[in-house]
Amino acid sequence: MSTGTPWQGERAGTGSEAREAWPLACRPRAGGPRGSWRRSPSPRSCSAGLPGGFRPARCCGEPGSLPAAPPAPTPPGRRPRPCKQRAGSCTAPGPRRQPGAQGRAPPRRPPERGPNSPGHHDLHHAPPCEARAASGAGRCSAPARLTAPPPPRPTVVWCHLPAGPGTGPRDRAPRRLCSCSAFCSGPCAPPRPSDRLFAPCPVALVCSAAPLSALGPSPPPLQAAPPGLPATIEPPAAAAGALAVTSGSGARHFRLRRARGRGPSRAMGEFEVHRVRFFAFLPSGVRCLARGPALALARLDGALELYGPTASGFQEKAIPGHEARATQALSWAAGGRLFGADLGGDVAEYDLQKLRIKYTVDGFGGPIWSLAADPGGTRLAIGCEDGSVKLFQVLPDKIQFERSLDQQKGRILSLSWHVSGTRIVAGSINHLRVYNVDSGRIVQRIRVERRLLSSHRRECVVWGVAFLSDGTVVSADSAGKVQFWDADKGTLLETHPVSSSAVLSLAVSEEEDSLVVGTSEGAVYQFQLLPVKRGSTESRWVRTKPFQHHTHDVRAVAHSRTALISGGLDAQLVIRPLMEKMHGQGYEAVLRKVTFPHRRLVSCARKARLLLFQFPQHLELWRLGATNAAGRDGEVLPVSRDPEHLLQLKSKGPDHICCSCISPCGGWIAYATASRLHLHRLQLENGSVVAIQRVPKLPKLLCPVYQLLYSADSSRLFVASDQGSVHVVQLLEPGGCKHLQTLCSPSGTAEAVQLLAVSADGDWLAATSSDWAINIYSLQQFKHHCTVPAYNCPVTAIAINPATNHLVIAHSDQQLFEFSIPEREYTAWSRGVQQHGLHKDWLERDTPIAHIAFNPRQPTQLLLHDTHMLCILDKSLPLPDDNTPLNNQAFLKQLSVKARRGHAHAFKICKKYQPLLFMDLLDEDCLVVVERPLTDIQAQLPPPVQQKKFGT
């Protein structure tokens, strides 16, 4: 890199090969010139007027000067001495300058970034410079303007993680110099209210002046430990504790000091982390909800999802979408049967065991806009485009047309049954109509005005209706009103103007004392039936404040006993608990937001370093980038090879892809739709695809397919099917396959298998079905080995430890179990976890564990991740109690070294990567994470129809 102005980025090459590197802000070091390299977490920028987010590499001193020892401590309350290189230059960290003082830092602005472009990555820009510029000519010599860099490219960053007993912050390290490393949430990245698992980490960064290669040898040893600590850290080659982060426009090398106790050092692992942000997955919006035995959700692409009745926000089952299916309404009927109606004019029943559509029936009325089941669940009413309301009888194995009610002008957009089952209210354009089910005639017609005193020129669309047991009809319309009507007299009882935009959805609680509506502004309102006076029998509906959890139209709402549920075009499912049902828990602890599906969309070829991304109708194959550049700590290194898009594999037909997988060697790709399995053979040369060949004539018995998995040696393919069965397929060269065996569940369940895990030695296979049963099979004898003892909670992730053949299980209630496959029992560690109990903050997490991996060099360590965190769990360390923060460096700093050793616990948590869709180990030293920022998703959504402005 050039040694020009320390504020200046370096650009090498032209055209598409251009690189731009941005150095870090570095703090002064003792033993070297003042103003040398440091990393500063201050939220202030330097006074030179740089764009927010980009700070100087050196506050003062000569370019390129690097120290050889950490800085001396600054006594509390004393101002640090200014730098003596130049008069009036920047100082080390000290008290902040008061507002109005000379050299005040400008406000910080976020860096400009081009979202959604191929290869888009988050730029690891330097934290703000803490240096305070003094008056006079000695102020930081920086240009007045600095243009923002181009969209960043992938990088590699080295840093070290503190771990093990006796690990703690250095006593003399300033607390405000905490790094923004992977397993730390320091002042440079303030924890949000939702980041409950974090306490500020006081461990300071220490830069090494020795050259370091991003992908080459391990970093050189650190300086000797200062007095007061038991020992110094060993070189990373001997005691691995580093983490390398890949993303940005180059590579930076960081190292965290780590103390070692008298016993052996328990390192948390050394990884090169590839940070991937070019998975352009766009979730589909929520169209409708139905609450019953489970919460059913239909998306705009025709996909169906089922969530548990406990409002935990875990997706238990999913049916892939279809290009020709646009589900408009859902309803539960008797016996836990789920029906849906779409704009194609069909009524469909879903098979919730085989996860597919069981059959469809034509409604004979054009597109179907609404669907509702009677209170007994024995009849279905559908509202059609031609203005008719048709009734279907629910039979044990199908539905049958019964009769059609009086046809009226205008499509029927909403329906609701009276609790008696004798009347139906239908919402249309400008009208509400009440039908007598026995006679099929309209008994009441109500005109709905658009506004209270407006003309009749504009139509008023009734998007939602509810028929209460006392004969009151509640309507929600496009004029932004919620109105209450007397169904017998047809008179208006109450009007509540809710919004200047449309009210699109409405739902009522079972007790009929509360209702919820959603608007096109993204707001959700709750109405409650409250007494006028204390002790009075007279009650009125009162509107509460809005809850703005969505950015776009709220197309569907539901009301359970404990929560308000909403979904909209922003693809988010929000489960907001009722305040009176929280039972002492914090509001942030029980709020649930579900954006991404709880199934695997990314698979990894570890040996070939390839990633396979799953989209609804195609697959994308990418090769990870790399770098071979070398430099000093703190320098930015350009990548030598960018991530490369190798292949796009399109699926034929209207069915969406339900599962996909790539073999560890990268030579096989398999994917499945609802009706067919596809297998392809890839020929790779120097990491690039030379040829692709489809394997013809696959065995028909392999369908339907719900999950795919390759063996560790890429010689077998495991196909999860219905009725708890798993097919074992032998892969043949140069491109063929042979069915070996079908493994069947001894219980004879009709549920589909949803999760698979195979041991590294190829001897064991674990399969989890939709009824939460976990069966383990022997692949040597092709027979059932044992069944894991039942636990009454859905399974979210399973994996087999390659060193011990222990099966690790994660459940939706955040509980963790370890089952010994050879011994057919839970391990001692698992029994100890259940006796001790997991930390309350761990149990209150709002997203389930999606993947489990193991570090081959550390058999006692588990790598787990959900949407918002990455965790390394060391089973050799004690579990924390509820009074100990999970990230407890701040607590350990207050203790002596001897007491510090006894307070180290098993959890090391990182929230640097989010939203996190995938994480896996490529090898012993390399980790890959795949993120999908919500800002990128929102940038691809269409603008909202209505958007509330500030002050209106």
CATH of the domain at 461: 2.130.10.10
How many helices, marked H, and strands, marked E, lie in the chain?
6, 62
Give the model confidence (pLDDT) of 828-858 as tens digits. Answer: 999 999 999 999 889 988 889 999 999 888 8
Is 393 contained in some domain?
Answer: yes
Tell me the two tokens of residue 165: 């007993």
Average pLDDT over residues 348-364: 93
Q: Are residues 762 and 724 in the same domain?
A: no
The 8-class DSSP code of residue 793 comes to: S
Tell me the two tokens of residue 686: 């120097």
Give the model confidence (pLDDT) of 398-444 as tens digits. Answer: 999 999 999 988 899 999 999 999 999 999 999 999 999 999 999 99
Q: CA–CA separation, 411 vs 392, rounded Å?
A: 18
Q: CA–CA separation, 812 vs 868, rounded Å?
A: 15
Which of 477, 510, 543 is the C-terminal boundary of a domain? 510
Is 526 contained in some domain?
Answer: no
Given this model, what pLDDT does residue 903 score? 63
Which of 492, 510, 528 is the C-terminal boundary of a domain? 510
Radius of gyration of the chain (CA): 31
Q: CA–CA separation, 627 vs 213, rounded Å?
A: 9
Tell me: cis bond preceding 82? Omega within 30 of 0 counts: no
φ and ψ of 831, to 5 deg: -65, -35
Q: Are residues 337 and 477 in the same domain?
A: yes
Given this model, what pLDDT does residue 810 score? 95
pLDDT tops 70 at residue 76: no
Q: How confident is the model at residue 308 (pLDDT cuts 50, 70, 90)?
A: confident
Decide: helix, strand or coil at residue 559.
Answer: strand
Q: Are residues 771 and 655 in the same domain?
A: no
Give the model confidence (pLDDT) of 889-913 as tens digits. Answer: 445 556 677 766 666 788 888 888 8
How many alpha carbons fall within 13 Å on the CB side of residue 576? 20
Q: Are residues 379 and 469 in the same domain?
A: yes
Given this model, what pLDDT does residue 767 score? 95
Q: CA–CA separation, 687 vs 623, rounded Å?
A: 7
Q: Are residues 455 and 325 in the same domain?
A: yes
Give the model confidence (pLDDT) of 770-804 as tens digits. Answer: 989 999 999 999 999 999 998 989 999 999 999 99
Q: Are residues 343 and 450 in the same domain?
A: yes
Q: Are residues 474 and 607 in the same domain?
A: no
The total domain count for the chain is 3
What percent of the chain has a predicted confidence (pLDDT) above 70? 66
Q: Are residues 806 and 931 in the same domain?
A: yes
Average pLDDT over residues 76-104: 43
pLDDT tops 60 at residue 343: yes
Q: Are residues 367 and 484 in the same domain?
A: yes
Is 391 contained in some domain?
Answer: yes
Is 550 contained in some domain?
Answer: no
φ and ψ of 668, to 5 deg: -135, 140
Is 402 contained in some domain?
Answer: yes
Q: 3-state SS string over 467-499? A: ECCCCEEEEEECCCEEEEEECCCCEEEEEEECC
Q: How confident is the model at residue 527 (pLDDT cuts 50, 70, 90)?
A: very high
Given this model, what pLDDT does residue 893 score? 54
Tell me the two tokens of residue 173: 């390290």
Q: Are residues 650 and 718 in the same domain?
A: yes
- Helix (H) / strand (E) element for 889: namely helix 889-893
Give the model confidence (pLDDT) of 912-933 as tens digits. Answer: 888 999 999 988 878 899 999 9
Q: CA–CA separation, 176 vs 39, rounded Å?
A: 10
pLDDT tops 60 at residue 769: yes
Q: CA–CA separation, 113 vs 825, rounded Å?
A: 52
Given this model, what pLDDT does residue 112 score? 44
Decide: helix, strand or coil at residue 386.
Answer: coil
Given this model, what pLDDT does residue 509 score? 93
Q: CA–CA separation, 717 vs 737, rounded Å?
A: 9
Is 348 contained in some domain?
Answer: yes
Is 50 contained in some domain?
Answer: no
Q: Which of 251, 174, 177 is nearest to 219 (CA)?
A: 251
Average pLDDT over residues 926-943: 88
pLDDT tops 60 at residue 250: no
Give the model confidence (pLDDT) of 360-399 as tens digits. Answer: 999 999 999 999 999 999 999 999 999 999 999 999 999 9
Q: Is the pTM of this model over 0.85?
A: no
Which of 717, 744, 771 is the C-terminal boundary of a domain? 744
Residue by residue, DSSP assigns 602-660 as EEEETTTTEEEEE-SSEEEEEE--B---EEETT-----SB--EEEEEEEPPSSBPP-EE
Give the model confidence (pLDDT) of 462-517 as tens digits. Answer: 999 999 999 999 999 999 999 999 999 999 999 999 988 899 999 999 999 999 99
What percent of the chain has a predicted confidence (pLDDT) above 90? 46
Decide: helix, strand or coil at residue 589.
Answer: helix
Which of 13-22, 605-614, 720-729 is predicted least confidently?
Answer: 13-22
Q: Residue 871: how many CB atoms within 10 A of its CB?
A: 22
Decide: helix, strand or coil at residue 524.
Answer: strand
Q: Are residues 349 and 478 in the same domain?
A: yes
Domain of 373? 286-510
Q: CA–CA separation, 388 vs 378, rounded Å?
A: 20
Q: Are residues 738 and 659 in the same domain?
A: yes
pLDDT tops 60 at residue 53: no
Separation of first and last alpha carbons in the chain: 53
Average pLDDT over residues 600-627: 92
Q: CA–CA separation, 673 vs 323, rounded Å?
A: 12
Which of 29-43, 559-573, 872-886 is predicted least confidently?
Answer: 29-43
Q: Could you tell me which residue, 806 or 749, shows the higher pLDDT? A: 806
Is 196 contained in some domain?
Answer: no
Q: CA–CA separation, 597 vs 779, rounded Å?
A: 31
Tell me: cis bond preceding 71? Omega within 30 of 0 counts: no
Give the model confidence (pLDDT) of 177-226 as tens digits. Answer: 232 333 333 333 333 433 333 333 322 222 222 232 332 333 333 333 33
The 8-class DSSP code of residue 443 comes to: E
Give the model confidence (pLDDT) of 120-151 as tens digits. Answer: 433 333 333 333 333 333 333 333 333 334 44
